[in-house]
Each structure stands twice: as structure tokens, then as C-alpha cells.
Structure 1
Amino acid sequence: MKKTYYLLLTLLVFACNKKADETKTITNSSTENNKTAEKTDTVDLSAEENKLLKIHNNISNSMGNMRNDSLLASSSQQFSDSLSYLIKNNNSTLNYPFEKLQKENALKMATSADKKLRVYSWDNNSGGTMRFFNQIYQFDANGNITVNESLASNDSQAYFSKIYTVQNKSNESIYLVISNSILSSKYSVQHINAYKIGTENLQSAAVFKTKTNTLDKISVEYDFFSVVDRPERPVELITLENNTLKISLVDDKQNVTSKNLIYEWNGDVFIYKGVK
């Protein structure tokens, strides 16, 4: 009887110790996660921006009178790597203004009115008159901050300038992202791309209904010298006001005319209304 009693007591003590060890492991794991989150949340973004600004100054210096292509390439790569790492690993960048980098034209950035989508772009300095732009899309998908990066290689891509937002009948936000490609000193392209934020990703949204198709993007290729005297930069060839989307019409020589293609938002799509 005593042997049975001692055996049961031993098993009970062993079970309690094992349970305590399991609880300790879970607690440690949770603590480690909290430390990681705390580290992310407490990064001094102003100090990080100053570091990026210093790298950008190296880029500018390398393009001066004593051009240094080796320094230009290494500094440009360092800037891209550092900026990408900062945005990918710090959710708070979604609301940080990056005013210094924007003022120095080191970074182009646009944020949606609801603060759920932000797009970043910067010249990677690998082009000539055709400019190559790296891009980052950062968005809030149901509380999860997600980053999509697109580095320019064979495709020169574009820099971002504005985000318009409309609400559809299902109360979803449709984001209209304006971007600009520089193909040469003469030819440029302005784009409008429509997106909505899904449960985990950024989705293209086909909302531009033409006479024959429903598109998720529209582009205007134009001769920059036909609008060079206009004061705004970038030149605004695609605008949205009071649910009316205006897209500049170009002639057969790609000169921008005074007329626009008109689209009206009906709560589901932008319906083509004609030329005005």
C-alpha cells in the first residue's frame, strides 16, 4: 500500500513539474515576442531618416563636378537597402512623414486619406534620360501592416505622386494611385491604377469602364515639352474631382490637348462619358 502511495505521489510531482516547465516556455516565448515588438515600436525614425539623408548626400556628391560612378552605385544601393529594411521592419513608418527626405527629393511618397495605404518611390540612379524607380507599397490589411517591394530592373517603373479614394456601394475603399514614368527627356507617361485592400494583400480593381472593356489601369503617354510651361510638377494629366475623373487627351503626336476623357463614378465603376 505504501509503495502504491509513494508511486502515485511521485507521478503527481513529476506531472506538476512538467506543467510548470511548459508554462515557463510559453511565457518566455511571449516575452521574446514582446521584446521584438517593443524594439520595433521604439525605433527612432527621425534618427533613421537622418542616416538615410546622409547616404543621399553621398549620392548627390558623387554626381557633382567630380563624378564618382563607383560611389554613386554603392551609395544608391545602400540607400535602397536601408530604406527598404526600415519600412519592412517598422510598422510605425506607415504614419511617419519623412519630411526631410521628401524635401531633398530623395523620396517620393503618397498616402491615402484613411492612412491605410502608402506608396514610396525613389530614383535608383541607374538610368540616363530614362529614369528607374524603386517602389514600395505599404498597407494596413485588417490590422496587419504589409509591405510589397518592387525594384526596378528591366522595367523602369514610375514614381508616385498622389492617391485618390472613392467608396463603392459595398463600402469598400477603392484607391486610385497616380504614378509617373520618365521614358526620356521628351516622353513621359502618367498612370492611374486602381486597388483595394484584401484580407491579406493589395488587389487590382477593375473599375474603369470604357466603351469595350473594364480596366484596372489607364496610362497617358505624352510629349513633356507640350506641357513644359504648366506650373505644377508633376504635370497633372489625370485628376479626380467630385466623382468626375478627367484624363487628358493627346493627339497623334502625343501632344497634350485641351480636351479630356471624362469618366463618372457610379458607386461601382467609372463609366466613360465621352470627350469634353
Structure 2
Amino acid sequence: MKNYLYLTLIILTFSCNKKTEELKTKIESTINNETIEDTDIVNLPTEENKMLKIHNDISNAMANMRNDSLLSVSSKQFTDSLIYLIKNNNNTLNYPFEKLQKENALKMATSEDKKLRVYSWDNNSGGSMRFFNQIYQFDANGNIMVNESLASNDSQAYFSKIYTVQNKNNESIYLVISNNILSSKYSVQHINAYKIGTENLQNAAVFKTKKETLSSISVEFDFFSVVDRPERPVELITLENNILKISLVDDKQNVTRKNLIYEWNGDVFIYKGIK
């Protein structure tokens, strides 16, 4: 009888320890809102359809009989759902989100090597000045990292393109193009240079002007001076064959036909003049 009770006690102890370890593992896997279960089983097309439904609610709230209360609730739901989905599913880094992009619910750009992706979406809190939430998602030595930035006092920009150059150390330098809408008249286009560190996205000072070396350059312009151009957003900053062109604006912020020219030398973009 004693042997039987002793054996039963051992089995119960082993079972409790196993459940404790399972619980510990589950808790550890949910740190920073990341769960192994979500990564393994979530169906991204299904989740995208859910996001699309929320976007439809936003569109309905902005219709003829504008419903600000529903708009606020739906916009927050869209933001919370998208951030949670991306944070908890590493495979979103390669998912196209075609439906959300087609409906203009989400703007995103992905680097050629698929290691950096940027997402942006209008949070619907602005008027002629638009406010955009942002997510940076990147592969840091096999670890998928996510940084979000929500617009509040700063209206922030939406992303439109990522260029990539390689430096002499064979590091990728990512040139992210983004766009502020300050009013129906005034806008800003930016180029920001980054490189991926071991755990974070780092500013890369690669734009060498006459006086200093910068990690970003911005062009403030009057949108009506380029309104007839067909591309959207208008491309005032372009890179081709290692030549970076940045549109020159006059003292009234009208875009001219001239460009500031920078050339990539394997370390930095060197300013070459105006052409």
C-alpha cells in the first residue's frame, strides 16, 4: 500500500512540474506580445479580411452622415488590430496585404532584400493636415523586430518607397522615402537613411553636403506647383544608377526643373551640385 501511495505521489509531482514548465514556456513566449501559437496558426488572408471589414466601417463613418464617434472607435480598432497582427506574426514581413493596399487602407514599402518593411495608414484624426501611424518591421540577424510610432502632436508621414545601396563593408543602407501632407497646398517629402543593427534600426549619416553629413534630407514644397504631374505621390527624390536627385524648390516653395545631385561613392552620397 505504501509503495502504491509513493508511486502515485511521484506521478502527481511529475504531472504538476510538467504543467508548470508548460505554463512557464507559454508565458515566456508571450513576452512583448509575441506568441508561438499565433505565429504558427494564424491565417493572414483571414486576418486581412477582418481588417478590411474594419476599414469599411471607417469608410461608412466618413460617408455623407459623418459619424465621428464610430470613426474614432473604428480607427482605433484598425490601428490596434494591425499592430497586434504584425507584432505577433513574423510571416507578415513577406505577406503582400494586397486587399488593404488596393482599398488605400494601408500603405507600405519593402526593401529589395525583404529585410525591411515600413507600414503607414491615416488615423483619420486630421483635416487638411493628415496624421499617419507608422510601423517599422525588420529582420535583425534572423530576429523579426517591430517598432510602431503613433501620430499625435506630430502628424508624421506615410511611406512610399525604399531604395537600397551597399557600402564598402557590404552593409545594406536603406533609403526610405516618406511624405507629409501639411495642408491641401503644402507637403514635404523626406529621404531617411537607415541600417539594421543587431537589435534596432539605426540612422545612417550618408548624405554629405557642403557643410555636414546628414542621415535625412527633406523637401518642403507647394503641391499645386506639381499637381499636373501624373505620379502619386510625386517623386521629388529619386535614385538611379547611384545618382540621387533631389528637386530644388524656389523661395516660394515651388518645385523647379532643377535638382540637387548626390553621387554614391560606396560610403556616402557626395553633393555634386545643381543640374
The answer to whether the superposition gives a TM-score over 0.5 is yes
Label 1:30 to 1:242 Cα distance change in 2 as closer, same or farther (>3 A): farther
Measured in 2, the distance between the counterparts of 1:118 and 1:271 equals 26
Cross-structure match for 1:227: 226
Cross-structure match for 1:156: 155
Cross-structure match for 2:48: 49
CA contact (8 A) 1:41 1:92 kept: no
Measured in 2, the distance between the counterparts of 1:59 and 1:23 equals 49
Measured in 2, the distance between the counterparts of 1:67 and 1:24 equals 55
State the 1:37 CA deviation: 1.9
CA contact (8 A) 2:38 2:88 kept: no
Larger Rg: 1
State the 1:21 CA deviation: 8.5
Other structure's SS at 2:133 match: strand
Label 1:128 to 1:136 Cα distance change in 2 as closer, same or farther (>3 A): same
Cross-structure match for 2:257: 258
State the 1:27 CA deviation: 6.7
State the 1:244 CA deviation: 0.3
Other structure's SS at 1:157 match: coil
Measured in 2, the distance between the counterparts of 1:82 and 1:131 equals 21
State the 1:28 CA deviation: 3.7
Q: Does 1:186 align with 2:200?
A: no
Cross-structure match for 2:6: none
CA contact (8 A) 1:119 1:160 kept: yes
State the 1:26 CA deviation: 9.1
State the 1:41 CA deviation: 2.2
State the 1:40 CA deviation: 1.5
State the 1:109 CA deviation: 0.3
Other structure's SS at 1:105 match: coil
Other structure's SS at 2:92 match: helix
- 1:1-276 → structure 2 map (5 Å cutoff): 24=18, 28=22, 32=26, 36-276=35-275
Q: Which amino acid aligns with 1:198?
A: G
Q: How many corresponding residue pairs?
A: 261
Q: Which amino acid aligns with 2:241?
A: N
Measured in 2, the distance between the counterparts of 1:228 and 1:180 equals 15
CA contact (8 A) 1:182 1:189 kept: yes
Label 1:69 to 1:275 Cα distance change in 2 as closer, same or farther (>3 A): same
Other structure's SS at 1:169 match: coil
Percent identity, aligned pairs only, is 82
Other structure's SS at 1:77 match: helix
Other structure's SS at 1:60 match: helix
Other structure's SS at 1:156 match: coil
CA contact (8 A) 1:41 1:91 kept: no
Label 1:267 to 1:58 Cα distance change in 2 as closer, same or farther (>3 A): same
- Cα RMSD (Å) of the superposition? 2.2
State the 1:30 CA deviation: 8.7
Label 1:25 to 1:272 Cα distance change in 2 as closer, same or farther (>3 A): same
Give structure 2 stretches of 5+ with no counterpart.
Answer: 1-9
State the 1:25 CA deviation: 7.3
Please list the CA deviations of residues 125-178 of structure 1 after superposition, one character each: whole Å capped at 9, or x if unmatched.
Answer: 000000000000000001110000000000000000000000000000000000
Q: TM-score, normalized by length of structure 2?
A: 0.90
State the 1:34 CA deviation: 8.4
Label 1:273 to 1:82 Cα distance change in 2 as closer, same or farther (>3 A): same
Measured in 2, the distance between the counterparts of 1:54 and 1:95 equals 22
Other structure's SS at 2:124 match: coil
Other structure's SS at 1:236 match: coil
Q: Which amino acid aligns with 1:264?
A: E
Q: TM-score, normalized by length of structure 1?
A: 0.89
State the 1:190 CA deviation: 0.2
Give structure 1 stretches of 5+ with no counterpart.
Answer: 1-15
Measured in 2, the distance between the counterparts of 1:91 and 1:170 equals 28
